[in-house]
Amino acid sequence: MAARSRWSQRVTRESNALDLEPGVFAKRTPRQVALSLRRSAEASRRRKGTPFQSAMSMLTFYINRAGKSLPKERLKLLDRAKDELRRLYGRERGGAGRRGSASSRSRSGSRT
């Protein structure tokens, strides 16, 4: 079981997504977490997508892997960091034009 819990730590440390600043997920505010992720994503030459994609991907990965063992307050802070990251990159949560949105599903129906 111990070997299973270590693979996600290795991914966080060695991932090609981006080079993280030490203690990024232990920051005290959502803004500090988001700013650290943005700095890491923009400085990294190992990322494969856009800086926004890499930063959001690493944050989501951490939340998904550590979520069960994180205190609820910490989980809320990291969830708010996702919203802060979207704000830093000028992206809104949801919105028109996204796959699977109600408006796109209604237009894709068959004609009668």
Q: Give domain status of residue 51, yes or no.
A: yes
- Within 44-107, residue ranges assigned H as helices are 51-66, 72-88, 102-107
Q: Could you tell me which of 72, 87, 93, 95 has the C-alpha nearest to residue 33? A: 87
- Dist. CA 57–CA 52, nearest whole Å: 8
Statement: residue 111 has pLDDT above 70: no
Under the banding of pLDDT at 50, 70 and 90, the label for residue 32 is very high
Please check whether residue 111 lies inside any domain of the structure.
no
Span 42-52, pLDDT tens digits: 998 877 789 99
User: Is residue 68 in some structural domain?
Assistant: yes
Residue pLDDT, tens place only, 34-81: 999 999 999 988 777 899 999 999 999 889 988 788 899 999 999 999
Query: In angstroms, rounded to a whole number, what is the distance separating the alpha carbons of residues 67 and 53?
Result: 20
Percent of the chain with pLDDT strictly greater than 90:
45
Within a domain: 100: no
Residue 110 in domain = no
Which one, of 48, 66, 69, lies nearest residue 57 by Cα? Answer: 48
Is the residue at 80 inside a domain? yes
Query: What is the domain range of residue 35?
Result: 2-92
Q: For residue 54, is it within any domain?
A: yes
How many domains does one find in the chain?
1
Does 76 fall in a domain? yes
